[in-house]
Structure 1
Amino acid sequence: MSEPDVVVLRQKLHGQDGSDYAEVLRDRLPDREIGHPDTPAEQREQLRTARVATGFELDREAIAAAENLELFAGVYAGTGHLDLEAFEDHGVAVTNASGVHGPNIAEYVIGSLIAHARQFPTAWDNADRGVWQAQPVLELHGSTVAIVGLGAIGTAIAERLDAFGVDTVGVRYTPEKGGPTDEVYGFEDVHTAVAAADHLVLACPLTETTAELVDDELLTTMPTHGILVNIARGKVVETDALLESLQHGEIRAAALDVTDPEPLPSDHPLWDLDNVTITPHNAGNTPNYFDRCADLLIENLDRLDAGADLTNQVV
């Protein structure tokens, strides 16, 4: 194999092997050499000459040895796990995969809201036991959903809720920018936003501002028929406060793709609640993941060749 233009790192991504991503890139970039090393030694050799690397992470030592590297194309939206200073020190641009999760995570949120509004978890449990019993339900139509975080994922959620006749209010750091929701508030007004809503969706990064944002006070602000959906990070929610709120019927239900702690221990009391659905941090899972990552990478390869600004550049 000749020296690769792009190296797909030896990392498994969302339960899928990096070789699958390499095949997608080879199909779509037939004029470029796409490398996917089998061994650590091969990876070091390919990185020594490659112009672009893509994957989950690259440590400081590997960055220093990658003498020709111009771009690291991250395959996650978050970059908190990366040594951004090391990339900057070695003149390597970094892009993230913001936007690739919009459709799939938005579908998770819509499905969760509908499931708990229509009491599907209880219906499924009754079906397992052969119990014919109706449950009181809600309609999403005509309700209001507060979305904390109006990035690519929050935007995708708001767009899809609109099709269900749902009003939306958003919370973001810079409310003056507006957003896809009917109203936009800053974090200092999060209680105002939540008080104006029926349900609450968390789609924000974990920061000093958002850590334990959903505490007993904010849960008290939510209406008793409110549904909480967390696809952000577990630590955005104060777990003990949420548990108590759910146990005492202070909110209707919660759908949690992320928890604190994570993984959630098998003996944690959240597992025992009928009004909670828990998934193992896989709302972002989709068979289209690598295709969407490839869309971004292909666009940025063209931009890199043209000396233009890169999409989703963080360094």
Structure 2
Amino acid sequence: MTGNRAGTSVDSSSNPDVLVLRRGTHGMPVEAYAENLRNRLPETTVKVADTPTAERELIHETPIVTGMTFDESLLEHAEKLRLFACAYAGTGHLPLEALADRSVAVTNASGVHGPNIAEHVIGSMLAITRRFHVGERRQRRREWRHYQTHEFQGSTVTVVGLGAIGQAICERLEPFGVERLGIRHSPEKGGPVEEVFGYDDASVYEALSRTDYLVLACPLTEQTRGLIDEDAFDTLPPSTVLVNVARGPVVDTDALVAAIRRNGIRGAALDVTDPEPLPESHPLWTFENVRITPHNSGYTPRYYDRLADVVARNVTTIRETGSYRDLENQVIP
């Protein structure tokens, strides 16, 4: 691989070693991601495709492509593609079968979101526990009047999904003096919790019945879609706080609204919703004990730094071994 800091224009005389697709995330320009890669891989040609035409032309001879998503139509032009490094932790939006059929390895950004989403979850639970929204409302009214709050210590926090994000949440919970329960697809893998449950109904309902704070940090799969439904809300104690940083459809929205209306749970912090974006007329906007953020927990100014670390390590491994197998965060071998 040869050093070249070429920018975004299409240059057929110099094919890139790594191509960055044009779509960025969190309002951050994708060129900043490319620059992070160049800093870590000074002997590697990294280019950004800033138009659909540039993507089609540059991908023709490029072995490694990275980006937020991958349009299946690009495969028609990607004759030399060996690796797609997805810049998201989730890969359900990718044409995985088509990539696998072309023997293209796929990696994801698992671990990139651990610190920032974990901080968002901890902050959400503490804000609802100490009822900061009540204090903010009284401050706006310049009203000095005490109000009752709750205490986090001694409660039970159940985290659904013990991947990189779920584990980061559990590790940061350790000093708060809470009991930590985990629910994951493979409970035998354990985790930084006191007890781990599987996804079978008996296990899930046992964990929910003991829960004060329910944190959803799992991928959206057929197993988790609608996991928190009417039966789940009936099982949760009325004092439970729900925090969802997974995907909106993990929760049955109608069941959530019904639970809030009947005081079936104490409150909710929703960074994701179903539907998303949440329509202006939706009743979830109107509840005082529901805090809504616009799928923002994943934002961090260090996103591209952490992502570039993972991709650069994999590029180095490929250069040293000549193999596209056994890469960090590999989804498709």
Q: TM-score, normalised by structure 2?
A: 0.91
Q: CA deviation at 1:133?
A: 2.5
Q: CA deviation at 1:220?
A: 2.1
In structure 2, the CA distance between the partners of 1:221 and 1:134, relative to structure 1 (3 Å rule), is farther
**In the alignment, does 2:240 pair up with 1:223?**
no
2:182 aligned residue: 170
1:213 aligned residue: 227
2:216 aligned residue: 202
Is 192-201 or 56-65 further displaced after alignment? 56-65
Mapping of 1:276-291 within 5 angstroms?
A: 276-291=290-305
Mapping of 1:12-91 within 5 angstroms?
A: 12-91=24-103
How many angstroms apart in 1 are the aligned matches of 2:72 and 2:199? 35
In structure 2, the CA distance between the partners of 1:19 and 1:158, relative to structure 1 (3 Å rule), is same
Q: Are the aligned partners of 1:228 and 1:254 in contact in 2 as well (CA < 8 Å)?
A: yes
1:20-68 CA-to-partner distances (Å, cap 9, x unmatched) read 1111112222111110123322222211111211001222331232112
**In the alignment, does 2:142 pair up with 1:125?**
no
**3-state SS of paired residue (1:191):** helix
Which one of the candidate residues 255, 267, 274 is aligned to 1:241? 255
Q: CA deviation at 1:134?
A: 2.2
**In the alignment, does 2:150 pair up with 1:138?**
yes
1:273-306 CA-to-partner distances (Å, cap 9, x unmatched) read 1101001111101101001110110111122221
**3-state SS of paired residue (1:187):** coil
How many angstroms apart in 2 are the aligned matches of 1:274 and 1:60? 43
Q: Are the aligned partners of 1:64 and 1:90 in contact in 2 as well (CA < 8 Å)?
A: no
* CA root-mean-square deviation: 1.3
How many angstroms apart in 1 are the aligned matches of 2:144 and 2:281? 30
Q: Are the aligned partners of 1:49 and 1:66 in contact in 2 as well (CA < 8 Å)?
A: yes
Specify the code of the residue in structure 2 equivalent to 1:216. E
In structure 2, the CA distance between the partners of 1:130 and 1:19, relative to structure 1 (3 Å rule), is same
Q: Are the aligned partners of 2:269 and 2:292 in contact in 1 as well (CA < 8 Å)?
A: yes
2:3 aligned residue: none
Specify the code of the residue in structure 1 equivalent to 2:174. D
2:207 aligned residue: 193
**3-state SS of paired residue (2:171):** helix
**In the alignment, does 2:326 pair up with 1:309?**
yes
Q: CA deviation at 1:12?
A: 2.0
How many angstroms apart in 1 are the aligned matches of 2:238 and 2:249? 22
1:96 aligned residue: 108
How many angstroms apart in 2 are the aligned matches of 1:176 and 1:24? 37
2:17 aligned residue: 5
Q: Are the aligned partners of 1:206 and 1:233 in contact in 2 as well (CA < 8 Å)?
A: yes
1:192-233 CA-to-partner distances (Å, cap 9, x unmatched) read 011122110001111222111112221122222211100011
**3-state SS of paired residue (1:163):** helix
Q: CA deviation at 1:144?
A: 1.1
**3-state SS of paired residue (1:314):** strand
Aligned identity (percent) is: 53
**3-state SS of paired residue (1:229):** strand
Residues matched between the structures, number: 315
Q: Are the aligned partners of 2:23 and 2:30 in contact in 1 as well (CA < 8 Å)?
A: yes
**3-state SS of paired residue (1:169):** strand
Which one of the candidate residues 308, 314, 318 is aligned to 1:300? 314
Is 138-147 or 287-296 further displaced after alignment? 138-147
